[in-house]
Chains A and B, each alone.
Chain A
Amino acid sequence: MAKYSWPEKPTLLGSAVTRLDGPDKVTGRARYTYDINRPGMIYGRMVRSPFAHARVVSIDLSPAEKAPGVRAVIAWKEPGAQVMYQGDPVAAVAADTEERARDAARLIRVRYEPLPHLASVEQALAADAPAVFPGGNTQTGATDETGDLEAGFAKAAHIVEATYSTHVITHVCLETHGCVCEWDGDKLTAWVSTQGVYPCRIGFADGLKIPQANVRVITQYMGGGFGSKFAPDVQGLICAKLAQQAKAPVKLMLDRKEEHLDTGNRPSAAAHIRAGVTSDGMLTAFDGQSWGTGGAGALSGFPLPYIYNFPIRKRTHKNVFINAGPQRAMRAPGHPQGCFLTEILMDELADRVKMDPVAFRMRNLPPAAPNAMWAEYFTRGAKAFGWDKRHATGDPAPGPIKTGMGVSAHRWGGAGRGSQAHVDIMSDGSVVVKCGTQDIGTGTRTIVAMVAAETLGLPMSAVKPEIGDTMYPFSGGSGGSTTAASVTPAIRVTTVNALDQLFAKVAPTLGAKPEDLVAQGGRIHLKDNASKGVAWKDACRLIGTEPISVDGKWEDGLSGAGTSGVQFAEASVDIETGIVKVTRILAIQDCGLIVDKLTAESQAYGGVIAAINFALFEDRIIDRVTGQMVNPNMEWYLLAGMSDVPTIDIMLNNMPERGVIGIGEPPTVSTASAIANAVRNATGATIRSLPLHPHKVLAAIEQQKAGGTN
């Protein structure tokens, strides 16, 4: 039996609490790394390879060294080194204004010898592909096999065989990567736009070969990470070195082009799949050969098949390397890809056996569990969405606008552990809660205060959360949807322990034992006699000059792992232009104990909209001849605006008995697949790749007319 637990009848937890830092953000008072202006600060600017693949012949820094306002210059690559993608860092400069830093960077003379490059997966897989990567342009993983494939296919009444794929997208964090580095002797303070102050501390220490104890990393506010911001990266180390050389604080923030080229991406995913189904709609076998590119020397794995129960399975995956920026984790890594590659197939199989897609999915689910609630969500969602009005594949309505519905399912982990916290309760009643976690837009700052306030029976305003600094107790990076489940238990444990110490002081004055007391409504009183108690401030006077000062850490029993979800989409397609418009999304998501309802819902909206972009708009496009990105901006790297966002309904399933589980990522997994299935339902033509660009929609419709894509 766990020593710590959540309250049975919470006053704050699960309610809609407005974000503590809302006012600071809406007024512009919140200082992000990009906004830090330090006394004497100068500006850094990097030089990067314009070539997809080249050898650095020489680097001449001297024109930059002599340029106006320049205070430091660094070469990052040595002559003879190779650059492996457009954007690969080569040198850097720091000057007293941004304009002068940019001017000086352009004066640095780098001579390159261009080398053969691979601009696409097709080129890397070609028989005559140049050998660009040591060890080969591809790397095949082990085969994953369960059961006898041929026997499985022999049982199938229908087999679908096709190739499915998703594309590379970049994170497009609105605040680009970067930092402000300031030295005080041999001590470094770095304000970094990061999802992990602690991992950054290690990164700076290792990269600069200085003790971790000499490094302080600060992130009070950061403008988006989505998985790409866990380390100082090259720009952080360069920034620190420039600051050392110049003996001045340096701000080095990437520009939008650099951000697209060299801060990570979601790898592409493709698979040639053969799958069988019996005449009564039971999946029999799955054979998938998949591949994908994570760029230069980086991996591209993803789960396949996804969710549904194929009793007999075989799967191999091949990583393909190309001369493009290396991948980094991006919101639910691997899952949106595996989901899409499976979910379109599922609708095709459902059509073969003439079953409704929801019924077909329900027939082939793994057993139900608290973290595997798809059957219930399919049923509930279908009813709420009006699924019974869905027509068979191909909207029979006249006119050029066809409408359709689609569905998809997903899962995620979201477990947590390891966070530490510190609580001080002062004699004047003030409370400070410290934790070295960071708020990446999820509302961590707010839920830290909520858990403390809930435990201590205080209003939110009486608790001061302090986060985002390695001066505070350890917490891991904010990724994998692990933060809420790591941090809230640590806060709970620490504040419960602090409260116990306060109870020990108060109990004698009430003629009671500490275990008889409860903190509620700003008072401490007897559990069974609310009138016998003291106000919080009066209780704290008993603390005296030595504050209650408690360290605590995460413990088991307050958090869980594993979530499931289902999403429905409705889309309309103009078959005379190929333009897809998403009209409605319904997202059903289980999420353990919801801490702040408001911020949890925002996470769900955000994940869905991110996936709408994945389905329709954004696309990292590389010129097939030169290997250079043609759209490293926000003009041609398309992202939805207000007029592109549909009606979105969110149903969060609060499951307090499971403890806190993170849901930053799961809501982004299914949406693109549901939309693609809706487009298929609308047009009657199957599009097996993302994004659903008009050229694909029109081509699929044409092909369908000529003899079918199904």
Chain B
Amino acid sequence: MKAFAYVNPASEREAVAALKIDGIALPIGGGQDLLARMKDYIDTPDRVVNVKGLDATVTSTPDGGLKIGSAVKIVDLAEHALVAKLYPAVVHAAGEVGTPQIRNQATVGGNVNQRPRCWYFRNEEFVCYKKGGSRCFAENGENQYHAIFGNEGPSHIVHPSSLAVPFVAYGARFRVVGPAGEREVPAADYFTMPTLQNVLKENVLEDEEILTHVILPAPGAIKTGHYEVRYKQSHDWPLAFTTVVLTMNGNTISSARVVLGAVAPVPWRSKPAEAALAGKPLNAQTAAMAAEAAVSEAKPMSGNAYKVQIAKTAVKRAIMQAAGIRTA
């Protein structure tokens, strides 16, 4: 890595101030993503600002929801009884992140803000759009792990965050603090589809802003399902995964949120799947139909059509899980 200066701020205000320098300053959470990027010279900050000292607690909110500090470690989130009770998909996703060693250091904020795993992005030799270049190498290249939705370009990455998907599905808001003060951004609006103007980032966070909290609303009368498909069982990125959050009226689904992960540059909300679920009984046939709808708008690339079938399966099995039906 390039040599860097290091700062350990004692407050949100100090952290934001420390990010303002003549040069590049980046926040470091668990470091499980940033340090690897630095070793590969994808990022070469002059200064690194420790944000592990930010809020690392999980607290209840007056409306019956939860406020999760961005410095909460993934392992603590995965083992949190109240989170498991209210937002089981969050705990499920957290438990599948990486490996035990990664979960022991990685933070919620770092997971949400991590950069893509795309192997063109991660290898210094490829100067792609996300590194100031003028092409996406996945387009004519090895795209078996790239997007099957939202493929208008310029970038065809899949968003790598496991937690982002249930956060979007549960309707979370992100609290962001910057030089101009604080703001809350709905999770669904936090992640950005790539354009030529914004392609250097994957979310709305400005350079001197930090993500401080994930705020989850009271869950209400919902059923949740979460299903991840991985090739290697031990340590691997999912090929596709889904969180479904169903608002129920008896055994009828009154409304649904279906969010897919590892299939698009952002956590991918499937309106067709949600429409297919609304007003239907929660059973295996409905699950199959909604899964078909979920992939109806897929536009795979030359090497990843297989992901369409896998995404479809993930949606179907997540809904079946919500229904309490055993799946493979």
Interface on A for B, CB 8 Å cutoff? 50, 86, 99, 103, 106, 399-401, 574, 576-579, 581, 617, 621, 623-626, 628, 630-632, 635-636, 638, 640-644, 693-695, 698-699
Contacts and interface: CB of A to CB of B under 8 A. Distances in A.
Contact of B137 (A399, A401, A579, A625): A625
Contacts of B141: 623-626, 630
Given A50-B125, A576-B328, 17 more contacts: A103-B2, A400-B328, A574-B328, A577-B239, A579-B231, A623-B126, A624-B142, A625-B137, A628-B125, A630-B142, A631-B119, A638-B236, A644-B234, A693-B144, A694-B306, A695-B305, A698-B309
A621 B145 CA distance: 12
Contacts of A399: 328
A697 B41 CA distance: 36
A50 B41 CA distance: 14
A625 B126 CA distance: 11
A621 B142 CA distance: 8
Contacts of A106: 41
Nearest to A255: B39
Contacts of B229: 577, 579
A86 to B, nearest CB: 8
B85 interface: no
Contacts of A625: 137, 140-141
Nearest to B120: A630
B303 to A, nearest CB: 8
B310 A577 contact: yes
Given A401-B328, A574-B328, A635-B117, A698 B234 contact: no
Given A400-B328, A576-B313, A626 B232 contact: no
Contacts of B123: 628, 630, 632
Interface of B: 2-3, 41, 117, 119-120, 123-126, 137, 140-142, 144-145, 229-236, 239, 303-306, 309-310, 313, 316, 328
Greatest chain B CB density within 10 A among A99, A577, A698 is at A577
Chain B interface, >50% SS class: loop
Contacts of B233: 581, 641, 643-644
A357 B125 CA distance: 48
B125 A643 contact: no
A106 B44 CA distance: 13
A641 B142 contact: no
A578 B306 contact: yes
A511 B141 CA distance: 84
Contacts of A401: 328
A630 B142 CA distance: 8
Nearest to A630: B119
Nearest to B139: A625
A355 to B, nearest CB: 32
Q: Which 4 pairs from chain A and chain B are nearest by CB? A: A641-B234, A695-B306, A630-B119, A643-B233
Contact of B234 (A86, A628, A630, A640): A640
Nearest to A691: B231
A375 B328 CA distance: 38
Contacts of B235: 641
Nearest to A400: B328
Contact of B239 (A624, A635, A644, A694): A694
A122 to B, nearest CB: 14
A50 B303 CA distance: 25
A638 B142 contact: no
B125 A626 contact: yes
Nearest to B124: A50
30 contacts: A50-B125, A103-B2, A401-B328, A576-B309, A576-B328, A577-B229, A577-B310, A578-B306, A578-B309, A578-B310, A579-B229, A617-B232, A621-B142, A623-B141, A626-B137, A628-B125, A628-B126, A630-B119, A631-B119, A636-B117, A636-B119, A640-B234, A641-B233, A641-B235, A644-B233, A694-B231, A694-B306, A695-B306, A698-B310, A699-B306
A31 B236 CA distance: 31
A394 to B, nearest CB: 18
A576 to B, nearest CB: 4
Contacts of B3: 99, 103
Greatest chain B CB density within 10 A among A99, A630, A640, A642 is at A630
B225 to A, nearest CB: 16
A109 to B, nearest CB: 16
A42 to B, nearest CB: 18
A399 B141 CA distance: 35
A627 to B, nearest CB: 10
A693 B231 contact: yes
B119 A694 contact: no
A607 to B, nearest CB: 20
A574 B230 CA distance: 12
A644 B231 CA distance: 10
A415 to B, nearest CB: 37
Contacts of A693: 144, 231
Contacts of A103: 2-3
A254 B145 CA distance: 28
A695 B305 CA distance: 8
B234 A643 contact: yes
A411 B69 CA distance: 59
A638 B232 contact: yes
B192 to A, nearest CB: 25
Given A578-B306, A628-B126, A630-B119, A623 B137 contact: yes
A672 B245 CA distance: 41
Contacts of A695: 144, 303-306
A255 B153 CA distance: 34
A401 B41 CA distance: 43
Nearest to A695: B306
Contact of B232 (A86, A578, A623, A641): A641
A562 to B, nearest CB: 36
B141 to A, nearest CB: 5
B328 A698 contact: no
Contacts of B120: 623, 630
Nearest to A572: B328
A59 to B, nearest CB: 19
A669 B239 CA distance: 30
A120 B123 CA distance: 20
A399 B326 CA distance: 11
Contacts of A632: 123
Contacts of B144: 693, 695
Greatest chain B CB density within 10 A among A50, A106, A574, A625 is at A625
A644 B125 contact: no
B231 A638 contact: yes
B291 to A, nearest CB: 10
B309 A577 contact: yes
B99 to A, nearest CB: 8
Nearest to B41: A106
Nearest to A580: B231
A313 B282 CA distance: 61
A261 B304 CA distance: 25
Contacts of A99: 3
B232 A640 contact: yes
Contacts of A576: 309, 313, 316, 328
